[in-house]
Structure 1
Amino acid sequence: MSLSLNQIIDFQTNGYVIAEDVFTPADWQPVIDEIERIISARAVILHAEGKLPELHEDEPFERRLTLLARQCPEIARQFDIMFLLGPAMFDFLRNDKLLSVVESLLGRELSCNPIQHLRHKMPWKGEGEQPIGMENVPWHQDAAVTSDDSEASEIITFWMSLVDATAETGCMEIMPEVFKAGYLEHQAEGGTTIVPTLLPHVKPIKAECRKGSIVIMNKYTPHRGTTNRSDIIRWSLDLRYHKTGARSGRNFHPSFVVRSAANPDNVLTDYNEWCRLWKEALGKPATQKAHRV
């Protein structure tokens, strides 16, 4: 599925577009099954160690990790793509439907950007807004988590929810058209966020979408997370792609070719090599900043 001309114009005009119903349940299910297997494997180990009294084996995907993490927060640590390194996730990064959407905006020479996340925004029953962290993010531009030398690179974000993303489950809010102003200075206080005095006075839109849709954003489009006030986890994938040969914004982590008309032999199809690249990168001492601030 490629984007329509109107969708491409909307993206170029507003700095974002929501492509509804790109994926079917069959596209998602291997990823969800893989996540469930990882949760179960961790739960069994922690239960055997006496850290997890109840396994909650009958709970659904949308609820189980919340119940387990309430007993033992350790189960949800480092629960991200580069740490889990699942084969189903590797396959999804190269999903043909996804790459056809990406190609609509970036052309036929595509690389998967190393800035990629699996997020599990837990339900929040406390007072006020959900705390800032990996489960909830403040107003920012994705360019703020890339290096200065990638300023000329067109790195586009493709955000997908594994459940319906609604105001109740904590969908994103987006500021349309602001991307035209370019990079806004960020600060590290309170999470990587736009300096409050520079935050544009623009009415945001709620990026609600059904499971199977993609929220596509320019790297300069300000956006933030909102509080999950539902009873389920808002599982989502935050993936980025760039033109092959451009700077990735994080050269100490591995990007890899996912589609190429000119050099198809350069496309990485070897799951074990992908794992090796990430393990090698994460095994090195951190000597460079991941964020600009």
Structure 2
Amino acid sequence: MTGSAASQGIKDSVAGTVAGAACLFTGHPFDTLRVRLQTSTTKLGMIECLKNTVEKEGASALYKGVTSPLFGMMFETAVLFVGYGQMKKLLQKDPNKPLELWQYSLCGASAGFAATFVLTPVELIKCRLQVQTTGPPKYKGTFDCFVKVLKEDGVTGLYRGIIPTLAREIPGNMAFFGVYEGLKRYFRTKTGQEDLPLRYLILSGGIGGIAYWSIFYPADVAKSSIQVSDNGPTPSLLATLKKIYQKDGIRGLYRGYVLTVMRAFPANAAMFTVYEMTMKALDKVIP
């Protein structure tokens, strides 16, 4: 890696880590409710799920499992943005000529592929902690969950659900980065400003996040279902989607979607805005 590529990688890594933390704390309460809705054996509404959670477990329950993604998501977001940045550098032959939107999407797909290998075990632990409600918990915390999964199922147990995660991350990040870069290009043309005001970054990041979740949401429902079921061989993505559809129809495949979109806008707006602001600060100290 050349000096300039190395410095860019460092900046992407640092900015991605900080952005991941911003995204996590903004969106985790929504995420807890989403996972519970997706894995519930009864038909719950969003408001009912929120009410039950707070009444029975207290408001702090909305941050259940936050320790796992705190460091994991920071690392995963760093990997995502480093992968995205390096792929952009590879495709951009002329630094003065911006990439086409399909190239941004391709960069997003490759970044999503790389991030999946960090994200899968992080989400598995997070999901299992999030669905612990009443009764004696199987897992005492993040580390205890990690150790027990490793002891019971080995390293492969931590990667339970990797196929649906890939099915979500690759097309999701194609849409994510393609929409984000496309909107920034549109706003630059509209305003005549290369350095966009904060409100346009928030809007671009928020809509990009909605696009990420909308492209293949059922894969995420299947992922949650597979990751919280810790008995027997791992069911396939298609078999899980079929089972959910047979039981609850199309609505079952989109359980928790409204809540997810509600989370997507502020969480991803925070992530991209913090990323851009951190990159600007780093550009001043790292050439």
Settle same-fold status: TM greater than 0.5: no
TM-score (normalizing by structure 1): 0.32
TM-score (normalizing by structure 2): 0.32
Relative to total residues, which structure has the larger strand share, 1 or 2?
1
